[in-house]
Structure 1
Amino acid sequence: MPDRPEVTAVEIARLAGVGRAAVSNWRRRHADFPRPVGGTDASPTFALDEVAGWLRAQGKLAELPLLERVWQLLETLRDPDGHPAAPLAEAGAVLLLLHREPERWAALAAEPDTRLATALPRALAEAAAATLGPDGAAALRLPGLLGSTQLDLARLLARLAAAAGAPVAGASTVAAAGAPAGSTPAADAAGAFEQLLTRYAEANSRQLSPTPPEAAELLAAVAGVPATVLDPATGLGPLLLALPPTAGRYGQDADRVTGVLALLRLALHTPAGDPGPLPVELRAGDALRADGYPGDTFEAVLCQPPYNEREWGYDELQFDTRWPGGLVPPRGESELAWVLHCLAHTRPGGLAALLLPPTVATRRAGRRVRAELLRSGALRAVVALPAGAAPPYGVPLHLWVLRAPRPGDDFRQVLLLDASSASFAVASDGAEGGRDKVRWPELRRTVLNAWRAFDLAAREGLPLPPDRPGVHRAMAAIDLLDDETDLSPTRHVPPASPVGGAAELSHLSGRLTELLGGLGEPSALLPDPAPGTGPVGAAGPTGPVVTVGELVRSGVLELYSSGAGVPARPAADASGQGTADSGTPVLTDQDVVAGNPPSAVLAPAGATGGTAGATGGTGAAGPVGAAGELRTRPGDVLVPALGGGVARVVPAGGPLVGAALGRQLHLLRPDPAALDPEFLAGQFRSTASTRRAASHASTTVRLDIRRVELPRLPITEQRALGAAFARIAAFDATLQQAAALARTLTQALTDGLATGTLPAPAPPAES
């Protein structure tokens, strides 16, 4: 184990915001570049302090990011022969102490290292036992004595938590405008831990594929408000995190350390004032081969199990009591083994919801198990979700909903809902899915409205809700029992009726003509062909530039980042009909990307809402008060933290004014006398301005917003450029509206001709 943090060439490139090839060039061209201190010839490692000093001397790094310093200390503490996430458990224990007993941490932090090395482990153990109970504290396996690196890590974690709770992202020393003099923003230990878990998940994407918050919230909403919930494949706990902390949350994971991280995550997202031990319990072990809760049942079971497991225990589980009537799932149907496991742990009348690959509904090998689920009345709904709802993001997963049968329950109907169509996906350039490609508010409303109406009819003996062509259909279980027992919604849901009538088609055509006519000539957007005119020449690549971070420090620009965002819920009324809610609107990153008005509203205090893990926020504070209370104003610029090329100016009098910030959004508030908002937004839409400040994960591009460079221009030239940027943005928005309308019109014409509801038009006359 190294005695000081070391970094690889890839990590150096991340620090400097460059490609790995640039680091190789520095090593060749600069004789003073730090020498390797470890690793191999093919993958050397360098001392972090030496690299950071060299980068600062070269003007390539103003200051090593706090998160990077914490991460490198964690890497230093990692045992090469141990679990790679073991140091994260120690970090989580420190953050738990800071979360539950901040006064005790403040007293300990003032102690000298010689005393802190023994006092801090005792405090961590006592806080863990009080919060998680004796078994939870024992699962953390905390050391009894801390070394100097561990003490440095503890102090940096406290700073990271303070920065996560600070009003300005990445700058914990900047006080919120309007805050009382000398006040300190509340530390956000949960937000700090989320940053570490995100970094760990990105570095281990092949082993970890967490369920995104939106999908987790959908499963939790389907379950209602259960008193006890089990997730037998917990991972980092996203499904349990989507539930209110008042519920008894139980889980199991085959990886002990991953389960410990999930336990700490749930504890950190529980309000600090909730008395312990918390109603949270996670056990280690493979849930199929070594069931951690034998004989126990719960009101709800939520799960996204591992897929395509060939060695799930088929041979040793032939006579397991979890298989109904001794019907053993086939060797190649591990997902159905998980379905039966979840159903066995659901108490009669309780609900189980699982995210499964679509092949589980169709594979011939699983026909007998599917038939048994239909005959018993356990299977209640199969929902086809759009690609991008959950990993693997390129596959349109299915949501299975089951109710454990009660004696005398003879309900034998199944809801089949097809939400895999393009109407639930954000228009894109054809790139493979991701959670930013799904219209979650529409998807959530559609699924929950249909499921709740169907489930109410099943429980109360009411008439079933009418079918909705193209979306959902209720079928008798007996009608699904055949040689295949195919449960795919796309096979059974009748297609939607095409847009009807010549009048409606004519209206669509007229609207499309109007939009295309309003575009004007693209040549009007081109600059004056005269050479050397306009502010563009002054803003050339050789001109002076300034970073966003420098503008923030100078006071010309205020910067806020939402992190996990405020607690939010979809904008729908209590009846679930999708009517807009009254209340504070909440802008999501998807709203900004798609150019839509706010799709959510602020959740009541204490609610988990529509953003898992948003309790406490992560720095969305502003001049109006505490964290999470920032509201948009005319002239603000909104930029998503993930992705690139998107920036929107908040117009006066529009629906964006007065909105709170959802997850993963940056808000920039320029001084209009010194920095034009349209100019600022246009620069963020420029590839050249953002490419050096972007970092790449396995499936996303994250923008380090403080490092974005802007040209230094007088305000008059900024406004001239800003006006041009605004015209280009308006042209693009109109073009996207026209493209969406054209797709609707062409699909309606195609469907009408294919079904015979429209006559074939006469061929055009030959000239």
Structure 2
Amino acid sequence: MASALPSAFASPSAFAPPGFSSAPTEVRPSLLPSTPLLRGAAELASELGARQTFEFLLGRHLDANPRQYTLTPADLAGLMADLAGPARTVLDPACGTGALLRAAAPDGPAPRPEQADQRLHAQDAVPDLAALTGLRLALHTRAGTRAAAGDTLRADAFPELRADAVLCHPPFNERNWGHDELAYDARWEYGFPARTESELAWVQHALARLRDGGTAVLLMPPAAASRRSGRRVRADLLRRGALRAVVALPVGAAPPYNIALHLWVLRRPDKAPAQPEVLLADVGQFAGEGRGGPDWRAVRDAVLDAWRDFDGAGRLDERPGLARSLPVIALLDDDVDLSPARHLPPPTAADGAGRLTDVRERLGETLRLAADLTPAPAHDPAQPAPRWPLTTVGELVRGGALVVRTGTHGGHARVPVLTDHDVLSGTGPSGTLPESDEEPVLTEPGDVVVPVLGGGSVARVVDDATAGAALGRNLVLLRPDQAALDPWFLAGFLRGTANNRQASSYASTATRLDVRRLQLPRLPLDAQHRYGARFRALDEFDRALKRAGRLGDQLVRGMYDGLTDGSVAPD
């Protein structure tokens, strides 16, 4: 069903909710929805509701085609919408699945006055994505929505639009963007982009679709800030006051996850600034730990605080290592390099030395803790291994000793989400839930959470710090009756390598764990507590080793940086 989702929505205007319109699209017979597909979708919608069904099917489709689409994470989309500010008319000319426009639309019961009668405009070169975005926005927002399919640069669907805000995650590094046929296009007010500068074509398209004083926020590759082929366009954007800020994001903020992408904030000039300055910020220090992605709360607070102070005053005092504003004239050299890291003052030597001292002390404490937690020697290997009677998770569920819940694809609760990456890396909840009518599964102390994809033997016991988070996708929650089953005993035996191997099934590209087939011994509660205490100590040792590794990396990197920038003396 999931793989056929775009086919079912190839002609959305025939059955879209009121307020949705789409540019006419020819529907080939091979793309017409099948009767079983529609019947299955209708049955699911009657059970879950339209919004939740749509998000479920969309999630399944995206999971099945991870390389086909470039997605904008919800946290990043929210930050971009906040930088643009409340807007009545919003355009996304490369809409993908509509994440940016969803973030820009009000989701509360009463929108701000400037968002009343909001109009959303979406275009994408892929007809399926334009249709998906139109339906998604019509289901999730009160705004009027127009979605169109077509190549935005070559066939703009909204040539007369003058929007309050433009949000865009354009395709990167495209050579075939229309350089030859668009040489005399009126949109190139700031200079004709080179063939290798497709991103600067998208920047100028966004400015051309703004009203005077309107704001555009674009996600950009870092090379766009420094390539020599784009320096003339960058220089004119600066001279005329159109480029207001460049923000370097942490690595892992959005695909491609191995590159620290930039945000460009632009404003269509309604008058020439008297003393133009541009904001440069770098929040790469908030990259986070493990696979959980950036510390989005810290990123959001730092970026919005710097932007609002700068936007209100037209300048920003230096914030060492984080942000500053520079006069435009200071950037108009031969390179016009806008990379924030090249212009930001480093942290003061005292700050850097203080941080290194703190990291060193924390590393020493962690290493001492790890030494204290080192497991005791094993018992005499000559002793025979015990032979327990075994049971399975499925049998415990049927007997009432366990409750099994699976992660949701959406929810209406505004709570952090525990993702499978969080469980695997041992970090705190880092995800967010798409809005839907579904009731999220909230964790409680003593729950055991198990990832079902990837083939690893991992089980995490929920503590007080994690309790209350929503359970994310690809996770199974086991809630034991603690009068009959010790949570740490349960989690410890579920982590056994042989146990996981016998409960796993293998597809061509992934390994999936059938949690109900996992085994554990039938032991009295007092024996469970003894095993549970041992497993808990092992878990603390494991976390101490990981923490020591991260602190060690920070100390080594800080020492290299300090020695090379002069903030640390060799003696």
Match of 2:121 in 1: 250
In structure 2, the CA distance between the partners of 1:568 and 1:418, relative to structure 1 (3 Å rule), is farther
Q: Do 1:269 and 1:613's aligned partners in 2 also have CA atoms closer than 8 Å?
A: no
TM-score (normalizing by structure 2): 0.85
Q: 2:406 aligns with which of 523, 541, 561?
A: 561
C-alpha distance in 1, partners of 2:434/2:341? 33
The 5 Å alignment of 1:238-317 reads: 238-245=99-106, 247-270=118-141, 278-317=143-182
CA distance in 2, matches of 1:219, 1:155: 38
Residues 664-697 of structure 1, C-alpha deviation per residue, up to 9 Å, x if partnerless? Answer: 3543311123332113333454555456547789
1:721 maps to 531
**Residue of structure 1 equivalent to 2:97:** 236
Aligned-residue RMSD, C-alpha: 3.4
The partner residue of 2:437 within 605, 610, 616 is: 616
- Aligned residues of 1:387 and 1:393 also touching (Cα < 8 A): yes
1:565–1:662 Cα contact (<8 Å) kept: no
Q: Secondary structure at the match of 1:516?
A: helix
Deviation at 1:713, TM superposition (A): 2.8
The superposition leaves residues 33-84 of structure 1 with CA deviations (integer Å, 9 ceiling, x where unpaired) of xxxxxxxxxxxxxxxxxxxxxxxxxxxxxxxxxxxxx34xx65xxxxxxxx8
Q: CA-to-partner distance for each residue in 1:122-164, whole Å, 9 max, x for gaps?
A: xx94x52x5245x449669699xx99x61x33343244446xx
The reply to whether residue 453 of structure 1 matches residue 301 of structure 2 is no
The 2-side partners of 1:400 and 1:503 are apart by 33
Share of identical aligned residues, percent? 43
Aligned to 1:24: none
Q: Distance in 2 between matches of 1:649 and 1:154?
A: 41
Which of 486, 502, 509 in structure 2 is aligned with 1:676? 486
Instruction: Report the AA paired with residue 564 of structure 2.
Output: A
Q: Structure 1 residues 640 and 481 mapped into 2: Cα distance closer, same or farther (>3 Å)?
A: farther
Deviation of the 1:553 alpha carbon: 4.4
**How far apart are residue 196 of structure 1 and its match?**
2.6
Q: For the structure 1 residues 199 and 647, does the alpha-carbon distance in structure 2 shift closer, same or farther, using more than 3 Å as the test?
A: same
Give me the TM-score of the superposition, normalised by structure 1: 0.65
How far apart are the structure 2 equivalents of 1:138 and 1:199? 27
Q: 1:329 to 1:142 in 2, by over 3 A?
A: closer
Distance in 2 (CA, whole Å) between partners of 1:709 and 1:379 is: 57
1:730/1:367 CA distance change after superposition, 3 Å: same
Letter of the structure 2 residue corresponding to residue 655 of structure 1: A
What is the rounded CA distance, in whole Å, between the counterparts of 1:696 and 1:497 in structure 2?
A: 53
Sort the Cα spacing of 1:728 and 1:493 in 2 relative to 1 into closer, same or farther, 3 A: same
> Deviations 1:544-586 (Å, cap 9, x if unpaired)?
5524x554444322233342454576xxxxxxxxxxxxxxx63
1:357 aligns with 2:221: yes
The one-letter amino acid of 2:165's match is A
Q: Report what 2:115 is aligned to.
A: none
In structure 1, how many angstroms separate the alpha carbons of the residues matched to 2:382 and 2:233? 74
**Residue 365 of structure 1: how far off its partner (Å):** 0.7
In the alignment, what sits opposite 2:337?
A: 486
SS of 1:738's equivalent? Answer: helix
Partner of 2:392: 546
Q: Structure 2: where are the runs of 5+ without partners?
A: 112-117
1:210 to 56, 71, 82: 71
* 2:457–2:497 Cα contact (<8 Å) kept: yes
The one-letter amino acid paired with 1:194 is: E
- How do 1:154-169 and structure 2 match up within 5 A? 154-161=38-45
Work out whether 1:153 is the aligned partner of 2:153.
no
Q: Which amino acid aligns with 1:615?
A: S
CA contact (8 A) 1:139 1:260 kept: no
Q: How far apart in 1 are the matches of 2:188 and 2:570?
A: 56
Q: Is the 8 A contact 2:494 2:518 kept in 1?
A: no
CA distance in 1 between counterparts of 2:79 and 2:412 reads 15
Aligned to 1:4: none
Distance apart, 1:214 and its partner CA = 2.1
Matches within 5 A, 1:63-142: 70-71=1-2, 85-89=6-10, 125=14, 128=16, 130-133=17-20, 135-136=21-22
Q: Which amino acid aligns with 2:52?
A: G
Q: Distance in 1 between matches of 2:279 and 2:452?
A: 38
Please say if residues 242 and 268 of structure 2, whose CA atoms lie closer than 8 Å, have aligned partners that are also in contact.
yes
1:730 to 540, 543, 548: 540
CA offsets per residue over residues 703-753 of structure 1, 9 Å max, x none? 656456233432445444322221111011222333333334444444443
Q: CA deviation at 1:755?
A: 3.5
Structure 1 residues not aligned, in runs of 5+:
1-69, 76-83, 94-123, 163-185, 429-435, 459-463, 570-584, 600-609, 622-629, 762-767
Cα gap change, 1:695/1:268 in structure 2, threshold over 3 Å: closer, same or farther?
farther
Residues 300 and 351 in structure 1, CA contact (< 8 A), matched pair in contact too: yes
**Match for residue 497 of structure 1 among 337, 341, 348:** 348
State the secondary structure of the residue aligned to 1:558. strand
Residues 560 and 620, structure 1, Cα contact 8 Å, conserved in 2: no
In structure 2, C-alpha distance between the alignment counterparts of 1:405 and 1:531, rounded to whole Å:
82
Given that residues 280 and 340 in structure 2 are in contact (C-alpha distance below 8 angstroms), is that contact kept between their aligned partners in structure 1?
yes
| CA pair 678-307 structure 1, distance change in 2 beyond 3 A | same
Q: Deviations over 1:613-632 (max 9, x none)?
A: 22324x425xxxxxxxx4x4
Post-superposition Cα deviations, 1:447-477, rounded to whole Å, max 9, x if no partner, equal 222222222223xxxxx33222222221111
- Tell me if the contact between 1:673 and 1:715 (Cα under 8 Å) persists in the aligned partners: no
**How far apart in 2 are the matches of 1:312 and 1:501?**
45
Does the C-alpha gap of structure 1 residues 507 and 223 become closer, same or farther in structure 2, counting only changes over 3 Å? closer
Alpha-carbon shift at residue 446 of structure 1 (Å): 2.0
How far apart, in 2, do the equivalents of 1:552 and 1:159 lie? 28
Q: 1:740 to 1:159 in 2, by over 3 A?
A: same
Q: Is residue 571 of structure 2 the alignment partner of residue 710 of structure 1? A: no
In 1, Cα distance between equivalents of 2:413 and 2:345: 34
Structure 1 pair 731–237 and aligned structure 2 pair: CA distance change class (3 A): same
Query: How far has the Cα of 1:402 moved from its partner?
Result: 0.6
Amino acid of the structure 2 residue aligned with 1:287: T
Structure 1 residues 389 and 503, CA gap change in structure 2 (3 angstroms)? closer
Matched residues in 1 for 2:80 and 2:392: separation?
A: 46
**Contact 2:363 2:552 (8 Å CA) reproduced:** yes
Matched residue, 2:114: none
For 1:388, the equivalent position in structure 2 comes to 252
Residues 526 and 153 of structure 1: CA distance in aligned 2, closer, same or farther (over 3 Å): farther
**CA offset at residue 482 of structure 1?**
0.9
Task: Please report how far the alpha carbon of residue 294 of structure 1 lies from its aligned counterpart in structure 2 after TM superposition.
Answer: 0.5
Distance 1:380 1:708 in 2: 57
State how many pairs are aligned.
554
Alpha-carbon deviation of 1:372? 0.8
